[in-house]
Structure 1
Amino acid sequence: MTARQALELTAKQAGFDSTDAELIRAGENTLFRLVDGVVARVGRPGQEAAANKEVQVSRWLSTAGIAVVEAMLEITQPIVVDGVPVTFWRELPLHREGSVDQVADVLRQLHALQPPPYLDLSPLAPFVRLDERIAEASVFSDADRQWLHEHLHRLQQRYAELPAGLPRGAVHGDAWGGNIVATAGGPVVLDLERFAYGPPEWDLVSIAVDHFTFGSLSDAEWAEFCHRYGYDVTDWAGYTVLRDARELRKVTFAAQMAAQYPHLRKQAQYRLACIRGERGSRPWNWEPVP
C-alpha cells in the first residue's frame, strides 16, 4: 500500500477531504497537506505505537507550556490501515528552521520536565531499526554491510557502559532546527516520533554533530548553543559514544533514502567512508539528505 492510498482510506474515515492532497515530504514518514489547515502524517508499517506516542506527547507538551505541533483532537488517533498508521495535525503557520539559541532554550525547558505517569515513554533506543537499515542497504557492498553490522555491535557494547551524565528525563530524540522551528509566535516543537526517556545528552549531541560532522554550524553558533543551554556536551566522557551512534544513524538514513533517490548514492557511500576513517578528520561537510 502506498502512502497516498493509506491517506485516502484514513482521511475518509476521519472525515477529512484528501482530494488533491499535496505531498510535503517523503522520508521516515510521509507528510501531506490537506484542505482546511490539516496535515496528514503517514507512518511506516508496524509503527502504530510510535504514532500513538506522538499524539500523546503533543498533548502533554501543550499542557506543560511548550509550544508544539497540535494533533487534531476531534478524532481518535492514530487510524491504522493494513498496519500503516496515519495521524492528522493542525498545519503550522509560516515557519523556518529554529536558531541555535531557540533550539537550546527549548531543549533546556524540555529536559527539565519529567513525563507524567500516564505517558509511558520507552527508554531511549539509539540503535532502533539500524540492523534492518543495514541489511537493506543495497547501496553498499556485502563487505560494507558486514562492517556496519560489526560497527553497530561495538557501539551497542559501548552504549551499555555509558558513563553517568546529566539527570535522565524526556528527550526529543531528533533535535535540530528543522524539528524546533521558528514561527512569528516563537519556537514550536515538531516530529515527536523519537520522544523517549533517557540521557539528555542525546539531544545535545545531535546539535554537536551538525557542527563537528556536517560543518553546518559555525564555531560561533556552536558556542552560542552551549552558552544558552548551559553545558558543553563534548566535555562529557560519553560524548564520543553518542556521537558515533548519531553518525551511524545518519549513514544508514542516507543509504535508505538512496534506495528511493539514486542521486543520493554518492553521499551515502561518502558518509560510510568517513566513519570508516577513510576521509580524514571532521568536519566531513556531509550534505543534507531530504
Structure 2
Amino acid sequence: MSMDPADSVLRRACAVAGVDCANATVLNRSENILYRLDGAIVARIARSGQESAARREVAVAEWLEAEGISAVRTVPGLDQPVVVEQHAVTFWKELPPHRPGTPAQIAGALRQLHALSLPVGIELGELDPFVRLDQRIDGAITVSSTDRDWMRDHLAELRKRWDERPSGLPRCVVHGDAWSGNVVATDDGTIVMLDLERTSVGPPEWDTVHTAIKFKTLGQISAQAYQSFCEVYGSDVTEWEGYELLRDLREFRMTTMAAQSAANIPADREQADHRIACLQGKFGPRPWSGWHPVPSR
C-alpha cells in the first residue's frame, strides 16, 4: 500500500479490528473512501468528525437485518466503528455482483422501509436536507464568485421554503439518499439498500422525489418506468404540493456535490458549471440534458 493518508488510516483501523488489509484496493473515492479487502470485506473511511453518524449507520444496518429488510450487512464480531485520526472506519460484507435498481425495485424497497415502526434504542435524528451545503459552497473554489453568491442566496431561499413546507404523508424512517446506486439488484434478484449514513426520520417524499427527478428533471427514465415506480410505491410525489420544494432541494444538493468534486477533480468543473446554469434557468425549462455522474471515473 502507498503512503496515501487514507491508506495509513486504513492500516491502523484494520490492525485494531484484526482485519487483513495487505491486498487492499480502492473501490471508490467520493465523500467516503471505500476499499475492498480480502475475505469479501469492504472497509469504509468516513470524512473527519463523522463518528456518531458511522455508529448510527452500523446500528441501522443491524436493525434492518433484524427486521428482515435486505440491506448492506456489517462484518459480524467487530466493535465498530474504529476511529483513527477522527476518521470513523467501518467494515461491511461485500455484495455479490449487482446493478442499479430499476424504478419499480427502488419503489418496493422504499415501501418496505417506510412501513417500519421507528426502532427502539437507536437515535436516528431528524432528516436534515441542508447537511454540509454551506461547506460545499465555501469549498467550491472552481465556481465563480458571482455563482457562489447566487448559490448562497438560493440556499437561504430553500431554507425559508423548508420552514414553510406543507404537510404530506406521515413521517417515517427514510433512507435519505435513495437513488438507483444506493438501491441495487444482485444477480439472483435480491434488492439491497446501501449507504445508510443519511437514514433518519422525516417525510417519505424525500426518498421518492429522487426517482421523480430522474424522470421530470433529467429525462433519464421513461414515463412508463416512472409510472411503474408510482404504482409499486402507492403514490406519486409529483402530485403533492410540496414536490417542487423537495425537487429544488435535491437538485441543489446534486449541484453542490458536483461543485465539491470539481475542487479536486478538474474534469468535473464543466459539470458543476452546467448544473448551476441549469438551476439559474440558462438552459430553459426541465428536463435538462448533460447531467453526468460525479466524481468522474
What TM-score results when the alignment is normalised by the length of structure 1? 0.98
**Which residue in 1 is equivalent to 2:183?**
180
Query: Matches of 2:262 and 2:21 in 1, distance apart?
Result: 28
3-state SS in 2 of match to 1:280? coil
**Which residue in 2 is equivalent to 1:111?**
114
- CA-CA distance at 1:142 after TM superposition: 1.3
**Which residue in 1 is equivalent to 2:71?**
68
Which residue of 263, 280, 295 corresponds with 1:259?
A: 263
**Which residue in 2 is equivalent to 1:39?**
42
Query: Matches of 2:209 and 2:92 in 1, distance apart?
Result: 29
- CA-CA distance at 1:115 after TM superposition: 1.9
- CA-CA distance at 1:185 after TM superposition: 4.8
Query: Matches of 1:140 and 1:21 in 2, distance apart?
Result: 35
| Letter of the structure 2 residue corresponding to residue 242 of structure 1 | L
Which residue of 139, 142, 145 corresponds with 2:145?
A: 142
Which residue of 267, 278, 285 corresponds with 1:281?
A: 285
| Letter of the structure 2 residue corresponding to residue 11 of structure 1 | C
Q: Does 1:224 align with 2:203?
A: no
Unaligned runs of 5+ in 2: none
Query: Matches of 1:152 and 1:225 in 2, distance apart?
Result: 29
Which residue of 109, 131, 136 corresponds with 1:133?
A: 136
Is the CA contact 1:212–1:282 (under 8 Å) kept in the aligned structure 2? yes
| Letter of the structure 2 residue corresponding to residue 216 of structure 1 | Q
Query: Matches of 1:42 and 1:10 in 2, distance apart?
Result: 9
Moved more, 195-204 or 140-149: 140-149
**Which residue in 2 is equivalent to 1:197?**
201
Is the CA contact 2:36–2:42 (under 8 Å) kept in the aligned structure 1? yes
Q: Return structure 1 stretches of 4+ with deviation > 3 angstroms.
A: none
- CA-CA distance at 1:255 after TM superposition: 0.8
- CA-CA distance at 1:151 after TM superposition: 0.5
Query: For 1:146-192, what per-residue CA distance to the aligned partner results, in whole angstroms no more than 9, with x for missing partners?
Result: 11111001101100111110000100000022111101151011100
**Which residue in 1 is equivalent to 2:21?**
18
| Letter of the structure 1 residue corresponding to residue 260 of structure 2 | Q
What TM-score results when the alignment is normalised by the length of structure 2? 0.95
Query: Matches of 2:5 and 2:117 in 1, distance apart?
Result: 38
Let me know the Cα RMSD of the aligned residues. Answer: 1.0
Name the count of aligned residue pairs. 290
Q: Does 1:50 align with 2:50?
A: no
Is the CA contact 1:23–1:31 (under 8 Å) kept in the aligned structure 2? yes
Query: Matches of 1:98 and 1:279 in 2, distance apart?
Result: 29
Unaligned runs of 5+ in 1: none
Query: For 1:34-77, what per-residue CA distance to the aligned partner results, in whole angstroms no more than 9, with x for missing partners?
Result: 00111000100011111111100101111111111111121111
Is the CA contact 1:214–1:287 (under 8 Å) kept in the aligned structure 2? no
Query: Matches of 2:71 and 2:156 in 1, distance apart?
Result: 35
Is the CA contact 2:139–2:263 (under 8 Å) kept in the aligned structure 1? no
Is the CA contact 2:54–2:90 (under 8 Å) kept in the aligned structure 1? yes
- CA-CA distance at 1:20 after TM superposition: 2.4
- CA-CA distance at 1:2 after TM superposition: 2.3
| Letter of the structure 1 residue corresponding to residue 24 of structure 2 | A
- CA-CA distance at 1:208 after TM superposition: 1.1
| Letter of the structure 1 residue corresponding to residue 23 of structure 2 | D
3-state SS in 1 of match to 2:217? helix
**Which residue in 2 is equivalent to 1:169?**
172
Query: Matches of 2:222 and 2:264 in 1, distance apart?
Result: 31
Query: Percent identity of the aligned residues?
Result: 50
**Which residue in 2 is equivalent to 1:235?**
239
Query: Matches of 1:126 and 1:38 in 2, distance apart?
Result: 31
Query: Matches of 1:12 and 1:239 in 2, distance apart?
Result: 47
Q: Does 1:80 align with 2:108?
A: no
